[in-house]
Amino acid sequence: MRSPEGIVRVTRHPFLMGVGLWAVVHLVANGDVASFIFFGAFAVTALAGTVSIDAKRRHALGPGWRSFAAQTSIVPFAAIPPAVRGSTPVRSRHGDGSPPSSPTP
């Protein structure tokens, strides 16, 4: 299995993490019962979705799941060692590693 790239290196479930964060922030900001029910449902759905997707991937990938799970995380940035976080090279659109060209005036 290939090493995870892009946003999957940051978190296995970027959309669900975004929805969960959005819901929790709105729960804290509003704090009334209606908001607790509404935004709480989104937060629970996002959490349950991550567990469900991981279970499906674990079943589909079989032994390859352990390798994938070891290289990724549900928690954003948790799977990237601190020494590596700032050292990922930026690739240009050309894929040759050259820096992007600056616009001409």
Answer yes or no: is pLDDT of 102 > 90.
no
The set of residues, in sequence order, having a beta carbon less than 8 Å from that of 16 and lying 6+ positions away, is 46, 47, 49, 50, 53
Among the ranges given (2-6, 19-23, 61-65), the one the predictor scored with the smallest mean pLDDT: 2-6
CA 94 vs. chain centroid, Å, equals 26
Higher pLDDT, 70 or 44: 44
What is the DSSP secondary structure assignment for residue 105, as one 8-state letter? -
Quote the pLDDT of residue 48. Answer: 95
Q: What angle do CA 75, 11, 46 make, to 5 degrees?
A: 70
pTM of the model: 0.67
Answer yes or no: is pLDDT of 25 > 90.
yes
